[in-house]
Chain A
Amino acid sequence: MTAGDTRRADLEARLRGLLGGLDTDAGFESRLMQRVATLAVAPREDLRAQFERRRELRRRRLRREVWMNGMTILGLGACAAGLLWRFAPDIQRLGADSASLVDPGLLAVGTLVAVGAAVWLLVKRADTARR
């Protein structure tokens, strides 16, 4: 072995000794796993918060719609009652005339169909809003 070979072997051994221990600090992996675990949980929490927010918004919208529907029905009822009150004599006369012209049974069926259609429309609208 020449002097050059010896020097080279010595240098290489020193470099191995110097650089061989180059590594992260102890506990690096556990710190990394902790950080990654927080990353994994965060999106799930975000999704849950988003879901809760949307559910709350939908609940508020439904409450508002129920209130609006109630007010509409009350308003229409009040108008109808007012009209009935105002034109009661005319209606009474018209009813008497109609009864003489139309079969009372047919009139009752027609009225029931009209009320049923109105109720069905209201129920359908409420169902669509709930979805």
Chain B
Amino acid sequence: MPADDAITELIQAGRAEAAFEQLVPAYRRRVFGLAYSVLRDRGAAEDVVQEVFVKLWQALPRYDGRAQLSTWIYAITRNAAISAMRKQRRSVSMSDPAVFEQVENRGAAPEAGPDDAALWQKVEALPVKQRQAVILYYQEDRPVEEVAVMMGLPVNTVKTHLHRARASLAAALGGAGEEVA
């Protein structure tokens, strides 16, 4: 990624603040997409994005460029999102009616119209890795290679997840799933 080179150069020149100012717009959506694909909750995902960027702000001056910048950021994001999910699981009780209602309602994507609500529910119902692959791939029409880096999985595994997810969605929406591949 060309922006990564510029950001890395700034860090190595001791200009971590300038690097951070470039890093936030370059990675905001990707970090949010990754956090959201794990948590399925906008508020919680946004909290994780804040935490990730604060961690990056603190750690950026110590970044030595040995690992790829994107790989490093995605690893921090995945760990933060998984920690947040574990905390949610510990603190959330589905027997609480208010919590149950919140979980039921969070399925709707912000831009989803009534026609898309069904599709959104099907995406939500996909197995975790398939859902993650779909969200990250279609969020910005990313190459599968980048989605693989974001998920920390081999490219072929991500292709398989995407293939199965499309088939499941098509089948669930009434099409012939096996043809959509």
Is the Cβ of B170 less than 8 Å from the Cβ of A22?
no
**How many chain B residues touch A (Cβ–Cβ < 8 Å)?**
39
Give the contact stretch, choosing among A6-14, A48-56, A71-79, A122-130: A6-14
CB distance from A44 to the nearest CB of B (A): 14
Q: Interface centre among B20, B49, B58, B109, by most A CB within 10 Å?
A: B109
Q: Write the nearest CB–CB distance from B70 to chain A, whole angstroms.
A: 18
Q: CB distance A20 to B180 under 8 Å? A: no
With both chains docked as a complex, state the minimum distance between the C-beta of B147 and any C-beta of chain A, in angstroms.
Answer: 12
Least distance between A15 CB and chain B CB atoms (Å) = 4
Number of A-B contacts (CB under 8 A): 95
Indicate if the CB atoms of B139 and A7 lie closer than 8 Å.
Answer: no
CB distance from A2 to the nearest CB of B (A): 8
Q: Is the CB of B141 within 8 A of A36?
A: no
In the complex where A24-B46, A24-B49 touch, is A11 in contact with B173 (Cβ < 8 A)?
A: yes
User: Which of A27-35, A85-93, A101-109, A111-119 lies at the binding interface?
Assistant: A27-35
For the complex, what is the distance from the CA of A36 to the CA of B54, rounded to whole Å?
7
> Chain A residues near B96 (CB, 8 Å)?
none
1/0 per position for B109-153, CB-CB distance to A under 8 A? 111100010011001000000000011001111000000000000
- Taking A22-B36, A22-B135, A32-B53 as known contacts, 19 extra A-B pairs with beta carbons closer than 8 A to each other, sorted by chain A number, are A7-B179, A8-B170, A11-B175, A14-B116, A18-B111, A18-B119, A18-B138, A19-B123, A20-B111, A22-B29, A22-B33, A22-B110, A24-B32, A25-B46, A31-B50, A36-B53, A36-B57, A39-B57, A39-B58
